Amino acid sequence: MEKAKVSVIQLFSMMFIFELGSAVVVSFGIGARKDAWFAILLGLCGGVALFFIYYPVFRQYPDLPFTGYVRKIFGKYFGWGIGVLYIVYLMYAASRNLRDFGDILLASTMRKTPLLAVNILMILAICYVLYLGIEVLGRTAEVFIVVIIFFGVTGSLLTWVSGNVHLPNLRPFLENGWKPILTTAFPITTFFPFGEMFAFSMVFPYLNRPESLKKVWLSALISSGLILSYTTTLNIAVLGVEEVERATFPLLSTIGKINLMEFLQRLDAIAVLTFLFTTFFKVSIYFYGAVIGMVDLFKLKNHQQIILPAGIIIVFLSMSIASNFAEHIDEGLIIAPYYLHTIFLLIIPLLMLSIVIIRNHVKNKAN
């Protein structure tokens, strides 16, 4: 691991922006229709439950990344194999988010630009920042969180002032009962994006005040969850649930409806810029986690020598995981939550926690 330290504010900024990611612009939680906001809040509760699985395991090994303490728990060889699987998982997650970025940018502003060109430019910028180190990424997050909050407050305020918000679009509550809410909350909104906070298990050892991790983690998780719930509520109130279901990126349509005195209009660029910033950090964290895992497992001298090769792999994966955006979204809503996320974000961490608890119990009993 590189010799670096990240402050509490920097870690909170990275985690907060990471959680917003692509969820802030897509039809997040819309499987619950008008109750999507409630499904997101329930998913947030699920994310808090996952926190109480991840956090106790990390506290046993505060100086090690995940690929380090997975070998302590499962053994040198079996743990090494699991660590490799997590590196592949992190690379796959980075490529999915990179594909999100390229598709949204092409659909909103750069329709005639090749997807490959957009993805390459994005990954080159990320490679440059990660080459400089995690401290630089943390300081960058400190700046951009202010910009993102400003864009969010401005866009929300202008939407209300424009008179586009129609609260009756949110009624009635529980129109279709509890089933669509629960099936949307568990596992979809629980794992995406709240369970994805697991990626920071590769970054936590850099925190300069480890005792503050619990507070930082929960505050970033809860604040981002509330904002995502509010954003979805605003989309439904402005567009109506049917249009949100049809729209690929409903936030762009919501912001695009702002029109004040025929002067302030076509402000959907705010949503595009917000998404650009959030996706940049989400891909960066996944990318960095995979690179640090490689350095740890393969005993490399530093992370800088493999950043560019890893970036090339991520670009290749982003182009090959789906033939079109519809297939890409289906894969993210059907295959990833029920198979990949369940295994990597729930089953294996839960097994690790069980082993740690049993070992501590045996050790205490022996003493």
List C-alpha distances in Å: 81 to 70, 72, 294. Answer: 10, 13, 12
What is the reported pLDDT for 365?
A: 83
pLDDT digits (tens, 9 = 90+) for 346-357: 999 999 999 999
**338, pLDDT greater than 90:** no
What is the reported pLDDT for 121?
A: 95
Residues 197/47, Cβ–Cβ less than 8 Å? yes
pLDDT digits (tens, 9 = 90+) for 301-333: 889 999 999 999 999 999 998 888 778 877 877
The reply to whether omega before 349 is within 30° of 0 (cis) is no
**108, pLDDT greater than 80:** no
Structure tokens at 158: 């202008």
Structure tokens at 251: 């936030």
SS3 for 299?
Answer: coil
**2, pLDDT greater than 80:** no
Mean pLDDT of the chain: 92
pLDDT digits (tens, 9 = 90+) for 42-52: 999 999 999 99
Per cent of the chain over pLDDT 70 is 99
Chain-centre distance for alpha carbon 365: 40
* Angle between helical axes of 66-74 and 76-108 (0-180°, round to 10): 150
Dist. CA 217–CA 344, nearest whole Å: 19
Average pLDDT for residues 161-187, to the nearest whole number?
91
Residues 221/48, Cβ–Cβ less than 8 Å? yes
pLDDT digits (tens, 9 = 90+) for 4-25: 899 999 999 999 999 998 889 8
The structural domains of the chain, with segments of one domain joined by +, span 8-362
Average pLDDT for residues 167-186, to the nearest whole number?
91
Nearest to 221 by CA among 55, 16, 66: 16
Residues 6 or more apart whose Cβ sits within 8 Å of residue 268: 108, 252, 253, 255, 256
Residues 54/206, Cβ–Cβ less than 8 Å? no
Average pLDDT for residues 102-108, to the nearest whole number?
85
Superfamily of chain region 8-362: Amino acid/polyamine transporter I (1.20.1740.10)
What is the reported pLDDT for 348?
A: 97
DSSP structure string for 28-83: TTGGGGGGHHHHHHHHHHHHHHHHHHHHHHHHHSTTS-HHHHHHHHH-HHHHHHHH
pLDDT digits (tens, 9 = 90+) for 60-96: 999 999 999 999 999 999 999 999 999 999 999 999 9
**261, pLDDT greater than 90:** no
Dist. CA 109–CA 111, nearest whole Å: 6
Residues 72/61, Cβ–Cβ less than 8 Å? yes
Average pLDDT for residues 120-124, to the nearest whole number?
96
- Model confidence at 35, pLDDT cuts 50, 70, 90, reads very high
What is the reported pLDDT for 1?
A: 64
* 259 CB neighbour count, 10 Å cutoff: 15
Nearest to 272 by CA among 40, 37, 100: 100
What is the reported pLDDT for 336?
A: 83
What is the reported pLDDT for 20?
A: 94
Average pLDDT for residues 275-302, to the nearest whole number?
95
What is the reported pLDDT for 237?
A: 95
